[in-house]
A and B are shown apart, each in its own frame.
Chain A
Amino acid sequence: MQHGFHFNGLRCTGCKTCMLACKDYHDLSPSISFRQVYEYVGGGWSVGADGLPAQDVFAYYVSSACNHCAHPICTQVCPTGAMGKDEDGIVTVDERRCIGCGYCALSCPYRAPKVDREAGHSVKCDGCVKRVREGKRPVCVEACPLRALDFGPVDELRRRYGEESDLLPLPDSSATSPSLVVTKPACVRADAERVAREGAVANVREIV
C-alpha cells in the first residue's frame, strides 16, 4: 500500500518546526536536511493616483520532503539498486549497496536524497518508518504546531483531502507521480495564474 504525505497550505505558517524536528530526530548535520520549507512570494508596493501606497503581496509556505513517488527518478538512475521502494511504497536507501555516487541527489526534482560524505552513502526521508511501525506518525507530522502535515496511505489521504498534488514551487506532478496531496493556499485558490507568473522562492539561501 503506497504511503504519502498531505500538506495543508491553508495552515502552514513557515515556522520550520517540521524541519528542525526531522533534523533532531535523525541527528542530521547542518548541511543535510530531509525536509525543506520554501517561502513562495510575489507582488509588491505601488503608489496609486491618489498618492497612497498600496500592496498586492502574496506569500505562502510549502513544506516538502521526499514524496515517495510512484515513479521515482532516483530508483531509475541508481546504478546499484540501492534506492528502492519498500512494501509501504516508501523510497529507502540500502546502505549496504549504496556507493555514494550522488546520482539520485542530482536527479531528484524535490532535492530529497542527499549524499552524506561522512557516512559515504545517500540519505533521505524514510517516512520515519520505525515510528510508523510502532503505530506513531512521522516526527515532522507529529511536531507541526498547526497540524499542516499528515501521513498515511495515499488513497486514504486523497479521499480525505482531495486529489491535488501540484503546488509551486514543487515540480509538475506528471514528472514522477509524487505520493503527495496538497491543500492549496488561499492566494493560489484566488488567482493561480498570477501566482505562477509572479511567484518566486524568496528564501533560496536558507535551502540546504
Chain B
Amino acid sequence: MTGFPTAFSEITLVLFTTLAPSGALAYVLANLPIAFGRATDEEREHLDRSSWLLLAVTMVGLVASATHLGNPSNALYVFTAVGKSPLSTEVFCAVVFLALAGVYWLYSFAERPRRRLQRAAVIATNAAALAFVAATAFAYNVGTVPTWSHPLVPISLFANALMGGPVLACLGFAAARFEPGRAPWGGRLLGLSAAALAANLAVYAVMAVQLAPVSNELASVPELVPNYAAFIAAFAVLAAAGLFVGFRGLRARGRSLVVRMACASALVLAGLFVMRFTFYMSHLTIGLGI
C-alpha cells in the first residue's frame, strides 16, 4: 500500500499548492518597485501590463483546485465559514487577492491613473497575496492528520514560495522588459531562491526523519511514501537545474531572457510539484484514515 492513489486523486491540489503560493509571492516581488515608489512611469507601465503572467500562474492553480470539487455550484457557501474552517479562510484569502489584483490590473489601463491610488492599491494587493500564502500554509493544519499538522508543514510551504516566487518574479520582470541581470536585485532574487532551496532541503530532511516513525492502524509513512530520499533528490536536482538556468539566463536579453527564465521557472516548479506530491502521499489520520 502506498500513498500514490491518494496523491493522484488530489493531483489538482498538488498543482494548486505548487503554483499558487509561488505565483502570489512572485506577484509581490515583481510589484515591489511600484510599492516602494522606485519605478519610473515607463517601468510601472511595463510591470502593470505584464503582471497578468504571474496572476495567470496563480489562477491556473486556483482553477485546478476547483476542478476536484464535486459540486462547485455550492462554492459561495465557502464564505460562510471564514475563520472557522482553514480551507474556507484559504479560499477567501485567494479570492480577495485575485479580486484586488484584477481590479488593480484593470485600473492600470486608465489613461490618467492616480499614482498614489495605484501605489496604495499595489500595497493592499501585496498584503492580500501574503495573507493568501499564509492561509495556504496553514490550510492543512488538521489535528487528526499527524503528517499534515507537523509544525514544519507551514514552514515548508513558505520555503516553497520563497524558492519558486523569486524565479517567477524574474520571469515577470523579463516579460515586462525589465532586465533583471542589469540590476543588482536580479542576482539577489535568484540568490534568495537558492537560499530557499537550501532551507527546503533542510526542512524536508528533518521531516523525513521525524515522520518516518509515524503510522496508524493501516499504514506507516515509509509505506505510503517509499523512497522519500529519492523524491528529495529529484526535487534538489530539478530546482538546482532551474536556478542554474536562471543564473545563466541573467545575462540574456529580450526574448531569449524570457525563454530562459520560463525554463528556469518550469524546472523549479517541477521540483516543487514532486515534493507537494509526496505531501499528499503522506496523508494518514490517527486511527484508520489513509
Q: Which residues of A contact B (CB under 8 A)?
A: 36, 38, 64, 73, 76-82, 96-103, 105-111, 115-117, 119-122, 168-172, 175-176, 200-201, 204, 207
Does B99 have its Cβ within 8 Å of any Cβ on chain A? no
Alpha-carbon gap, A98 to B102, bound state (A): 28
Does B254 have its Cβ within 8 Å of any Cβ on chain A? no
| Given A98-B71, A103-B87, CB of A81 within 8 Å of CB of B142 | no
Are B70 and A169 neighbours in the complex by a CB distance under 8 Å? no
Alpha-carbon gap, A117 to B70, bound state (A): 6
Q: How far is the CB of B273 from chain A (nearest CB, A)?
A: 20
Are A73 and B144 neighbours in the complex by a CB distance under 8 Å? yes
Q: Which residues of B contact A (CB under 8 A)?
A: 1, 10, 68-72, 74-75, 77-78, 80-81, 84-88, 91, 142-145, 216-219, 283, 285-290
Given A81-B77, A107-B145, A110-B289; 17 other pairs, CB 8 A cutoff:
A73-B143, A76-B85, A77-B86, A79-B78, A80-B77, A81-B81, A99-B71, A99-B75, A102-B68, A106-B142, A109-B285, A109-B287, A109-B288, A109-B289, A119-B70, A170-B287, A204-B218
Which B residues are CB-close (under 8 A) to A115?
Answer: 70
Which B residues are CB-close (under 8 A) to A103?
Answer: 85, 87
Task: Offer 6 A-B interface pairs, CB within 8 angstroms, sorted by A.
Answer: A79-B78, A102-B10, A102-B68, A106-B142, A109-B285, A169-B287
Which B residues are CB-close (under 8 A) to A201?
Answer: 217-218
Which A residues are CB-close (under 8 A) to B72?
Answer: 99
Within 8 Å by CB of B70, from A64, A79, A116, lies A116
Alpha-carbon gap, A111 to B184, bound state (A): 53
Q: How far is the CB of B219 from chain A (nearest CB, A)?
A: 8
Are B287 and A81 neighbours in the complex by a CB distance under 8 Å? no
Which B residues are CB-close (under 8 A) to A108?
Answer: 144, 285, 289
Alpha-carbon gap, A122 to B69, bound state (A): 11
Alpha-carbon gap, A171 to B142, bound state (A): 15
Which A residues are CB-close (under 8 A) to B145?
Answer: 106-107
Are B288 and A99 neighbours in the complex by a CB distance under 8 Å? no
Please give me the 10 A-B residue pairs with the lowest Cβ-Cβ distance, nearest first.
A100-B70, A171-B287, A169-B217, A109-B287, A120-B70, A80-B77, A79-B88, A120-B71, A79-B87, A109-B285
Which B residues are CB-close (under 8 A) to A110?
Answer: 287-289
Which A residues are CB-close (under 8 A) to B1?
Answer: 204
Which B residues are CB-close (under 8 A) to A98?
Answer: 70-71, 74
Within 8 Å by CB of A175, from B77, B88, B219, B286, lies B286
Are A80 and B289 neighbours in the complex by a CB distance under 8 Å? no
Are B288 and A169 neighbours in the complex by a CB distance under 8 Å? yes
